[in-house]
Amino acid sequence: MQSLRWMAVAIGLSVLLAGASCQAAAGGIPFTVAEVTSTDGTVFNVTWQGEGVRSVRVFAGPAPDRIDRSREVAHGGARDAAKIGPLPAAPRWYFELSPDRGDALVIAERSLRLASAPNFRDIGGYRTGDGKWVRMGLIYRSDGLESLSDADLATVAALHLHLVCDLRTDKERTKGRDRLPADVEAAVFDVAGAENEEGRRLTAAMANREDEQRLLGNGGADGLMQALYRDFAVDATAQDAYHRLFARLSQSDTLPSTFHCSAGKDRSGWAAAVLLTLLGVPDQTVMADYLASNDYLRASHEKMVQRLAAKLDPAPLEPIFTVRAAYLATALRAMGDQYGSFDNYLARGLKLDASTQQSLRRIMLIE
């Protein structure tokens, strides 16, 4: 009789646990993988993997809040892919993955496909370590906006940005002022401030001076870039700029927003790495997002190298034109040496209080 009572208790517990498991599976976003890619902006490849689901329906729309749920554009199983299109021309297409169990997820191609600003891209669409997703269509990162073509300016205008955050120096802004849609607020968060020695050397090198090419040869350019990245993490001027940037982005009425520097790879790269880490995106994903600048900027870098080759050997300057894992690792190491942990860096280095950090997570994360 005693054993029967224990068996009844055990069965009761198993039923309760099974019910709790089913409830957990039924709620929340079940997707562990979701991505949109395209080669021409009209035909899209959408891939996904979902846990605890049997089928997924796909809907499309020109904005996250304009998904047309009256017409399915694709469907598939728990782990599947769909080729969708060609779709009508639009500044951007969003796709809603609607599972038979759990909550839907809206994703888009990360790149905005701007010929005159090829590194303009969404920082969203990444899964965090605890299963949340970074919302798309709210915060973008970009290279310089001073040379936007009319067509690309129209695409940017369609994003309905409220705020553009410029991380460049006074000299850079004077040389090339942003070309922005009407009624967009422009804010300056100068990461470098009054240029230090590394900044002067970098500016001179980018101006193609032969004496600077000699100066930056024999590994000097790589050392210069690593010195710059250390400054991103621990320099007081940089910390103040990043503090003000994230404080503004934590205010929902400033979104959608974008932040940018000149190439969108270094100052913007550190900003994106910090923000994604704050949101809980895994380190390897943060590194992949950082290194993606090499792919987005490859064509423009090749053109730059060709122009330089007419005057000098561009090879010693190659470290300046690209991003490298060692650069981001240098900044992270400097951060760790100075503050001991990422959380301490946020609190003591960037002086972002718990309320600001929580606001960023609340705005940017979906689960």
pLDDT tens figures, 24-43: 345 699 999 999 999 999 99
Give the three-class secondary structure for 58.
strand
- Cα–Cα nearest to 286, from 105, 134, 144: 134
Would residue 9 count as lying in a domain?
A: no
Residue 149 belongs to domain with CATH number: 3.90.190.10
Residue 59 belongs to domain with CATH number: 2.60.40.10
User: 0.85 cut: is pTM over it?
Assistant: yes
Q: Which residues of 160-175 are buried (b: 16+ CB within 10 A; e: fewer)?
A: ebbbbbbbbbeebbee
Would residue 117 count as lying in a domain?
A: no
Would residue 78 count as lying in a domain?
A: yes
pLDDT tens figures, 170-222: 999 999 999 999 999 999 999 998 655 555 555 555 444 444 454 455 557 88
d(CA 39, CA 113): 10
pLDDT tens figures, 88-129: 999 999 999 999 999 999 999 999 999 999 999 999 999 999
pLDDT tens figures, 286-328: 999 999 999 999 998 888 788 877 777 777 778 888 999 999 9
Nearby residues of 44 by Cβ (< 8 Å), 6 or more positions away: 36, 37, 38, 83, 84, 85, 87, 93, 95, 109
Q: Containing domain of residue 85, as a range? A: 25-109
d(CA 193, CA 51): 48
Would residue 319 count as lying in a domain?
A: yes
Q: What would you report as the CA-atom Rg of the chain, rounded to the nearest whole angstrom?
A: 23
Do 243 and 319 have their domain in common? yes
Do 81 and 228 have their domain in common? no
Do 245 and 290 have their domain in common? yes
Do 105 and 149 have their domain in common? no
Q: How far is CA 69 from the centre of its chain?
A: 28
**The last residue of a domain, from among 62, 89, 109:** 109
pLDDT tens figures, 354-367: 999 999 999 999 98
200 CB neighbour count, 10 Å cutoff: 11
Would residue 4 count as lying in a domain?
A: no
> What are residue 106's phi and psi, to 5 degrees?
-105, 125
Do 167 and 279 have their domain in common? yes
Do 98 and 212 have their domain in common? no
Q: How many domains does one find in the chain?
A: 2
> Strands, DSSP E only, in 182-306?
185-188, 257-260
